[in-house]
A and B are shown apart, each in its own frame.
Chain A
C-alpha cells in the first residue's frame, strides 16, 4: 500500500495499492505510476494492474518554486 505525498513530503489522504517492481519496503519514499503506464514494466506487462512502484527516491531537489 502506498500513501501519496506532496513534493514537500507532507502526506496526502489518498492511499492506493500498487505492485512493486523494485523491492521497496515500508517507510521508503517511492515513485509510482498509475493507469496504462503501469503496464509498461516486465513485471506488469499485459496484466490487470493499474499502479506500480518504479523507483526508490534517494534525493529530491526543487531549485525554484515557479513563477
Chain B
C-alpha cells in the first residue's frame, strides 16, 4: 500500500459504464515521512475522501479488488484515510482541513 495526499478532482462524463458513479481523485504520492514524491496519479475513491485528506491507496491488480465481483478498470484505488503515522524518524498527523 502507498500513502498520498488528495489534491484534486477529475470529471469525465463519457466513461466506461462500470465507472459511472465512481469518484476520481488526483493524488500526490508521499513518502512515509510525509514528503511529496514522484508524479501525480488518478485514483478511484472507496472511502469518501476529499481534497486535503492524506490517504492510503493500492495500485496495480489490487486496485480492482475492493470492487469485486464488479469489473472496474482502475490501476489505483483509495482504501483508507490516514489519522496518524508513527515513523522511526518521528510521528506526524496529517494537517487538518
Shortest CB–CB separation between residue B20 and chain A, in angstroms?
A: 10
Contacts of B11 in A (CB 8 A): 57-61
Given A54-B19, A55-B19, is A35 in contact with B60 using a C-beta cutoff of 8 Å? yes
- Give complex CA distance A20, B28 in Å: 27
B: residues with CB less than 8 A from A are: 5, 7-19, 24, 26, 28, 30, 34-36, 39-40, 42, 51-52, 60-61, 63-64, 71-75
**Residues 23-67 (chain A) with a chain B CB within 8 angstroms:** 23-24, 31, 33-38, 40-45, 52, 54-67
B7 engages A62 (CB within 8 Å): yes
A66 engages B12 (CB within 8 Å): no
Shortest CB–CB separation between residue B76 and chain A, in angstroms?
A: 9
A17 located at the interface, meaning its Cβ lies under 8 Å from any Cβ of chain B in the complex: no
Give chain A's interface residue range (CB within 8 Å of chain B). Answer: 20 to 34
Query: Can you list 27 pairs linking A and B with CB atoms under 8 Å apart?
Result: A21-B16, A23-B14, A31-B15, A35-B75, A36-B64, A37-B60, A37-B61, A37-B73, A40-B73, A41-B16, A41-B18, A42-B17, A54-B19, A55-B12, A55-B24, A57-B12, A58-B11, A58-B12, A59-B11, A60-B8, A60-B26, A61-B10, A61-B11, A63-B7, A63-B8, A64-B5, A66-B30
**Which of the residues B10, B12, B51, B75 comes within 8 Å of A33, measured between beta carbons?**
B75
A22 located at the interface, meaning its Cβ lies under 8 Å from any Cβ of chain B in the complex: yes
